[in-house]
């Protein structure tokens, strides 16, 4: 058993339009890098090798909270010293908190002889996500741990995650540098959904999953439509409608807000189209005078993993 591991934990796109809090996919990049060392003394120390000013008190740090949940299930006295280098900007909408939480528990599991299943790791990592957003949701955690495309079928009475193979699509993401935190973005959501809208929404969720599984990417494009969450959050993201218009004109299948935003994702049939779509997305924010970052890559088949000991 190693006593130190280096872990990469990927960014993720949650919701995928219609699948609020249930669907998600893993990106090949960006990713967080974590070094974990096992210590004989019980307890946790967290250090951040970046300048985002994130809390390092384990109770208030997403990786710390996830590790505390894991340690509660470990009978022997053991602790971890963790160093985190954020490759994913906090508040970007591509699962920054989920990546640190997932990377921490995957690394700790390797240091404990891989005694926990991926489903158990996802359950621990959700404790970290709750610290970040105040809500228990696993739609970033699931792809951050399982990779590919994931469906969180239930949180209660037990976490139930369906891991689907990664479709051979490319993702273009624009991250406009606007502050939106998940907690605030959840507060603008409607408390109730009219039945007619709910019917259209779950028809799209079923269509999207069917499109992925049968490689019917025209269906994927038609189903990337959100009648419930995007209308409430759209006012938080200037340029969203224009970004979608230009991305579709550049050949994207479809897309929407990535997680709770402000990032916007678009799915594409190939890399060339994804790069053209990313440029189209970026052009909107350049014209608005808003700084932005672009990420282009395939859907990653793997989630958080040990890359060196």
The residue ranges that bind ligand HSE (CB under 6 A) are: 14-15, 20-21, 137, 139-140, 182, 185-186, 259-260
Please report how close the Cβ of residue 308 comes to ligand HSE at its closest, in angstroms. 29
- Could you tell me which residues are beta bridge partners of residue 2? none
**Residue at token pair 């307890």:** 43
Phi, psi of 218 (to 5 degrees): -65, -40
Of 186 and 305, CB closest to ligand HSE = 186
Please report how close the Cβ of residue 260 comes to ligand HSE at its closest, in angstroms. 4
Nearest to 37 by CA among 45, 49, 26, 48: 45
Please report how close the Cβ of residue 97 comes to ligand HSE at its closest, in angstroms. 8
Per DSSP, the three-state class of 113 is coil
The catalytic residue among 150, 182, 230, 273 is 182
Of 123 and 139, CB closest to ligand HSE = 139
- Is residue 36 within 8 Å of residue 104, measured between CB atoms? yes
Phi, psi of 191 (to 5 degrees): -80, -25
Of 140 and 204, CB closest to ligand HSE = 140
Q: For this structure, is 39 an active site residue?
A: no
The catalytic residue among 129, 150, 230, 273 is 129
The residue nearest ligand HSE at its CB is: 259
Element (H, E) at 208: helix 195-214
The CA angle 16-34-275, to the nearest 5 degrees, is 40
Of 21 and 32, CB closest to ligand HSE = 21
Of 46 and 228, CB closest to ligand HSE = 228
User: Which residues 6+ apart lie within 8 Å of 285 measured at CB?
Assistant: 174, 176, 239, 243, 291, 292
Give me the half-sphere count of Cα atoms (radius 13 Å) on the Cβ side of residue 92.
27
| DSSP labels, 285-302 | HHHHT--EEEEEEEBPS-
Please report how close the Cβ of residue 264 comes to ligand HSE at its closest, in angstroms. 13
Please report how close the Cβ of residue 20 comes to ligand HSE at its closest, in angstroms. 6
Q: For this structure, is 182 an active site residue?
A: yes
Indicate left, alpha or beta for 93 from its phi (over 0: left) and psi (-120 to 50: alpha). Answer: left
Nearest to 268 by CA among 281, 285, 251, 280: 251
Please report how close the Cβ of residue 291 comes to ligand HSE at its closest, in angstroms. 21
What are the residue numbers of the active site?
129, 182
């Amino acid at each position: 058993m190693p006593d130190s591991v280096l872990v990469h934990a990927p960014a993720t796109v949650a919701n995928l339009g219609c699948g609020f809090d249930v669907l998600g996919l893993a990106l090949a990049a960006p990713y967080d890098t974590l070094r974990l060392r096992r210590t004989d003394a019980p307890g946790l120390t967290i250090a951040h090798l970046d300048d985002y000013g994130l809390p390092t008190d384990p109770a208030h740090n997403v990786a710390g909270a996830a590790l505390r949940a894991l340690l509660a299930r470990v009978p022997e006295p053991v602790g971890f010293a963790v160093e985190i280098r954020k490759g994913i900007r906090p508040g970007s909408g591509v699962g920054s908190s989920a990546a640190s939480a997932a990377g921490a528990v995957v690394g700790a599991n390797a240091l404990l002889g891989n005694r926990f299943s991926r489903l158990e790791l996802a359950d621990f990592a959700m404790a970290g996500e709750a610290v970040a957003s105040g809500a228990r949701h696993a739609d970033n955690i699931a792809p951050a741990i399982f990779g590919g495309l994931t469906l969180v079928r239930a949180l209660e009475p037990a976490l139930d995650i369906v891991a689907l193979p990664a479709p051979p699509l490319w993702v273009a993401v624009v991250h406009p540098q606007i502050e939106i935190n998940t907690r605030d973005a959840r507060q603008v959501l409607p408390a109730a959904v009219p039945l007619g809208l709910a019917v259209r929404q779950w028809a799209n969720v079923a269509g999207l999953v069917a499109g992925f599984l049968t490689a019917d990417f025209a269906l994927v494009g038609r189903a990337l439509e959100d009648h419930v969450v995007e209308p409430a959050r759209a006012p938080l993201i200037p340029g969203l409608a224009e970004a979608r218009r230009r991305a579709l004109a550049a050949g994207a299948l479809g897309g929407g807000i990535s997680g709770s935003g402000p990032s916007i994702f678009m799915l594409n049939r190939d890399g060339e189209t994804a790069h053209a779509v990313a440029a189209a997305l970026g052009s909107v924010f350049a014209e608005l005078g808003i700084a932005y970052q672009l990420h282009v890559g395939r859907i990653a088949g793997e989630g958080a993993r040990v890359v060196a000991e």
